[in-house]
C-alpha cells in the first residue's frame, strides 16, 4: 500500500521553499537496534549484547540477536529508503564489529570493515548521503571487563581515539558527516544514574550490584566530552583537509516549561532543568568552556573539573550542534536540598501545568507526548545560546495500537498520529528557519520499527512496520514515510 497524495501542499503555503536546497533529510538508526548478527562474522560482544542476554533486563525478554536483520538486508533497506525519497541516512557503527575486543592494540575485523564499506557504497550509489555516528551506546564488553570502560578516562580515551581513527581511515573518503557520540547524557543517565540501560550501574542495589549514581554519572560524562574532543582533534589535524568533512556531537534534550509561568522559582527551575539536561554537555563545547554554574552549585566537587588542557581541547570541538529532541515537560521547583542522586536540577517534571494544561497528546511511550510549541522554543533557545548550525539528528514518536499480528491492518499503516506529529514539528522547524535559526537537517526516528533498548520490541517508532515474527522481518511502509517525502518536497527549495 502507498499514499501517493500524503501531502498535497495546500496547507502551509507560507512555508513553501523555506528550507535551503542542500537541506538533508532522512531517517536515523543505531547499530545495536537494527543490525542483528550480534555474534556473526567476527563481531565481538558489546555491553548491550551482555545486557539483553541477562534475564530481567529487557521489558519483553527479547534480545537484539536478530533486531531487524539490517546486517543482512541492507540493500533492501536502501532501496526502500530511496523509494521514500530520503536524501540522507544517519546510522551508527558497531565498535565491536570493527574491533571485536575494542582496544587500541587489538586486531581489526576486516569482515566488519567490509560490511560498512558495502553499506556506505550502497547509499552513495543510490544518492543518499551517509551521516555516521561512531558511538551509539554500545561499548565493547571487553573494555568494560578490562578496566571499567568510561570510568577509566585515560585508557578508554586511547581506545576510542584509535577506533575513531580507523573509521576515518577506512570510510572518510565517502563519509563527510561524522558524529562522535549520540546522546552522551542519556547514555550516562540511563546506564549509570538509573541503571536501567547497559552497563547497568547505579546506587540502587535492588536493581544493580555495583555503581554510584552520585558520582559515576558525571565521571562518565567527563570521559565522553574529553574523548570526543581528542577524536575531533585527530580528524581535524589528520583527515579534514584531504577528506573535506565535518565532525561534531549529538546531544539530547527536551524542552522544559515552568509549571507556573508566574512563579519566578518555577521559571528559574525550567532554565535550570535545561542546563542540567542540555548545557551539561553543550556549555563546555559551544559555550564558555565549562559546566553550567547551576550544576556546580548543586553538585560541588562531585562534578569533575576540566584541566586547562581539557578545557582548551573541548571548547569549539564540534562543527555543528547535533540535536535530538522529542517532547516537552512542565517543571516545578523543589524546595530544600537536592537528593544526592538527583541529576535533574532539583525539580519535579509534570504532565500538566498549574492551569491544568497538558503537555501534549499521549503516544504509546509513557514519557513521550506531542509538543511542537516546545520544540520551536527549544530550537530558538539553542540557537540563541550557542549560535552554531543545528543538525536535527533525531525526532519522532510511537503511536498507540500498532502492536498487532501481521499483516498489519490499514489503520496501523495509515499512521495518522505519527503524520500529525511530524507535520506539527516540521512546521515549527520551518518557522524557526524563517526567523533566522540555521537548521541544516532533519532525521526522523526511525526508519523501521526496531529493538528499542530496554523496552525491547514494545516501542514501535518506525515509519515502516516490521513483522518481528517473520524470518526476514517483513517490512510494511506506513503513511508517515510518504508524508515526509511529500512535505519535504514542499519545504525544500528546488524540489
What is the DSSP secondary structure assignment for residue 346, as one 8-state letter? S
Give the C-alpha separation, 67 to 171, whole Å.
Answer: 24
Question: Is 105 in the active site?
Answer: no
List of residues 6+ apart from 386 with CB closer than 8 A: 282, 286, 287, 321
Q: What three-state secondary structure class fits 158?
A: helix
Give the C-alpha separation, 69 to 444, whole Å.
Answer: 20
Which residue out of 183, 216, 275, 402 is catalytically annotated?
183
Q: Cell for 427? A: 512546521
Q: Sign (positive/negative) of CA torsion 440, 444, 445, 449?
A: negative
Question: Is 275 in the active site?
Answer: no
Query: What is the crossing angle of helices 479-491 and 70-84, to 10°?
Result: 50
Spacing of C-alpha 5 from chain mean position: 30
The residue assigned the cell 528557519 is: 433
Q: Determine phi and psi for 377, rounding to 5 degrees.
A: -65, -40
Q: Determine phi and psi for 333, rounding to 5 degrees.
A: -65, 140
Q: Cell for 151? A: 570510568
Q: Determine phi and psi for 316, rounding to 5 degrees.
A: 80, 15
Q: Answer for the pair 234, 216: CB distance below 8 angstroms, yes or no.
A: no
Q: Answer for the pair 333, 266: CB distance below 8 angstroms, yes or no.
A: yes
Spacing of C-alpha 148 from chain mean position: 23
Which residue out of 216, 224, 277, 394 is catalytically annotated?
394
Give the C-alpha separation, 34 to 47, whole Å.
Answer: 16
Strands of the 255-258 sheet, one edge to the other: 255-258, 328-333, 347-350
Give the C-alpha separation, 454 to 57, whole Å.
Answer: 7
Rg (CA), the chain: 21
87 closest CA partner among 29, 131, 22, 26: 26
Active site residues: 183, 394
Amino acid at each position: 500500500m502507498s499514499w501517493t497524495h500524503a501531502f498535497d501542499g495546500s496547507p502551509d503555503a507560507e512555508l513553501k521553499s523555506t528550507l535551503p536546497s542542500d537541506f538533508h533529510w532522512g531517517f536515523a538508526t543505531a547499530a545495536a537496534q537494527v543490525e542483528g548478527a550480534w555474534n556473526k562474522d567476527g563481531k565481538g560482544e558489546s555491553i548491550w549484547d551482555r545486557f539483553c542476554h541477562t534475564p530481567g533486563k529487557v521489558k519483553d525478554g527479547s534480545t537484539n540477536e536478530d533486531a531487524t536483520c539490517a546486517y543482512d538486508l541492507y540493500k533492501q533497506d536502501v532501496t526502500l529508503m530511496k523509494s521514500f525519497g530520503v536524501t540522507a541516512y544517519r546510522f551508527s557503527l558497531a565498535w565491536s564489529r570493527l574491533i571485536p575486543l575494542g582496544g587500541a592494540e587489538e586486531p581489526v575485523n576486516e569482515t566488519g570493515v567490509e560490511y560498512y564499506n558495502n553499506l556506505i557504497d550502497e547509499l552513495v550509489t543510490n544518492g543518499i548521503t551517509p551521516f555516521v555516528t561512531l558511538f551509539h551506546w554500545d561499548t565493547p564488553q571487553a573494555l568494560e571487563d578490562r578496566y571499567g570502560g568510561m570510568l577509566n578516562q585515560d585508557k578508554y580515551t586511547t581506545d576510542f581515539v584509535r577506533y575513531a581513527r580507523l573509521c576515518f581511515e577506512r570510510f572518510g573518503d565517502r563519509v563527510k558527516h561524522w558524529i562522535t557520540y549520540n546522546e552522551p547524557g542519556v547514555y550516562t543517565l540511563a546506564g549509570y544514574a538509573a541503571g536501567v540501560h547497559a552497563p547497568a550501574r547505579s546506587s540502587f542495589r535492588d536493581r544493580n550490584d555495583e555503581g554510584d549514581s552520585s558520582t559515576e554519572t558525571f565521571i562518565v560524562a567527563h570521559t565522553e566530552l574529553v574523548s570526543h574532543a581528542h577524536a575531533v582533534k585527530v580528524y581535524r589535524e589528520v583527515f579534514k583537509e584531504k577528506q573535506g568533512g565535518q565532525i561534531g556531537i549529538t546531544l539530547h534534550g527536551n524542552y522544559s516549561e515552568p509549571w507556573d509561568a508566574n512563579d519566578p522559582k518555577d521559571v528559574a527551575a525550567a532554565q535550570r532543568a535545561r542546563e542540567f539536561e542540555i548545557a551539561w554537555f553543550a556549555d563546555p563545547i559551544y559555550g564558555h568552556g565549562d559546566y553550567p554554574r547551576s550544576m556546580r552549585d548543586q553538585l560541588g566537587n562531585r562534578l569533575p573539573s576540566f584541566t586547562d588542557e581539557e578545557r582548551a581541547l573541548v571548547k569549539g570541538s564540534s562543527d555543528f550542534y547535533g540535536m535530538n529532541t522529542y517532547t516537552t515537560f512542565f517543571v516545578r521547583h523543589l524546595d530544600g536540598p537536592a537528593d544526592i542522586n538527583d541529576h535533574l536540577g532539583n525539580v519535579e517534571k509534570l504532565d500538566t501545568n498549574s492551569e491544568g494544561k497538558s503537555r501534549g497528546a499521549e503516544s504509546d511511550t509513557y514519557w513521550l507526548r506531542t509538543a511542537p510549541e516546545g520544540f520551536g522554543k527549544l530550537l530558538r533557545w539553542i540557537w540563541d545560546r550557542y549560535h552554531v548550525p543545528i543538525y536535527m539528528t533525531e525526532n519522532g514518536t510511537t503511536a498507540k495500537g500498532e502492536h498487532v499480528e501481521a499483516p498489519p491492518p490499514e489503520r496501523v499503516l495509515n499512521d495518522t498520529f505519527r503524520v500529525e506529529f511530524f507535520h506539527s514539528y516540521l512546521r515549527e522547524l520551518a518557522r524557526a528557519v524563517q526567523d533566522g535559526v540555521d537548521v541544516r537537517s532533519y532525521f526522523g526516528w526511525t526508519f523501521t520499527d526496531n529493538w528499542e533498548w530496554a523496552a525491547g520490541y514494545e516501542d514501535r517508532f518506525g515509519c515502516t512496520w516490521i513483522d518481528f515474527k517473520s524470518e526476514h522481518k517483513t517490512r510494511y511502509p506506513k503513511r508517515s514515510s510518504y508524508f515526509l517525502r511529500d512535505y519535504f518536497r514542499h519545504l525544500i527549495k528546488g524540489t
